């Protein structure tokens, strides 16, 4: 009788552990797929903010409650290869007029004066300026304005809000740069 009690106790313990492990795995995969995702930075288009080899966490949940904002760094699939993601900064919102003149960007006839890039624009891309950003689309640029394929190029174009994989919010690698990304 005692052995049967021990067997039942061990079986119950194993079942409890299996349930706990299953719940933890479901929670982890749910968080990874629906709330957070790790992304690797490839290339120098976001330098100096992010550089080749950096790792960031994307918040996939943010845009369920608010619209993307000017200055947000977002990830989205590259249309030429949807398994590849681009990471760029939003500089213009739906309805904004973007122009490129005198080697500088203008948003609604106001020079883009951001803290992310100070170099004169040498690459115009192949988009005809000025352009008005359509509803639900965003104009994105790399912080390394002269070394980025971004909304200036037809191959990237404006990014639809629903195509955004998430907002970059924490850099996790290299460790000496761990923290919020602005």
State the catalytic residue, choosing from 4, 13, 42, 45: 45
Under DSSP, the state recorded for 46 is T
Exposed/middle/buried for residue 180 (C-beta within 10 Å: 0-12, 13-18, 19+) = exposed
Judge whether 88 counts as a catalytic residue. Answer: yes
State the catalytic residue, choosing from 4, 9, 13, 88: 88
Question: Three-state SS across 118-171?
Answer: CCCCCCCCCCCCCEECCCCEEEEECCCHHHCCCCCCCCCCCEEHHHCCEEEEEE
Q: Which residues are annotated as catalytic?
A: 45, 88
């Amino acid at each position: 009788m005692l052995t049967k009690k021990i067997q039942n106790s061990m079986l119950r313990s194993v079942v409890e552990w299996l349930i706990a492990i299953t719940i933890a795995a479901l929670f982890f995969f749910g968080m990874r797929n629906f709330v957070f995702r790790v992304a690797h930075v490839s290339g120098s288009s976001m330098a100096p903010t992010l550089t080749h080899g950096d790792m960031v966490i994307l918040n996939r949940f943010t845009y369920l409650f608010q619209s993307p904002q000017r200055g947000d760094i977002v990830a989205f699939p590259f249309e030429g290869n949807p398994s590849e993601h681009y990471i760029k900064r939003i500089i213009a919102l739906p309805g904004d007029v973007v122009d490129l003149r005198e080697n500088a960007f203008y948003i609604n006839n106001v020079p883009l004066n951001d803290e992310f890039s100070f170099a004169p624009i040498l690459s115009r891309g192949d988009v005809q300026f000025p352009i008005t950003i359509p509803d639900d689309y965003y104009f994105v640029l790399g912080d390394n304005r002269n070394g980025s394929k971004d909304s200036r190029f037809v191959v990237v174009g404006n990014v639809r809000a629903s195509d955004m994989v998430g907002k970059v919010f924490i850099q996790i690698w290299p460790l000496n740069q761990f923290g919020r990304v602005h």
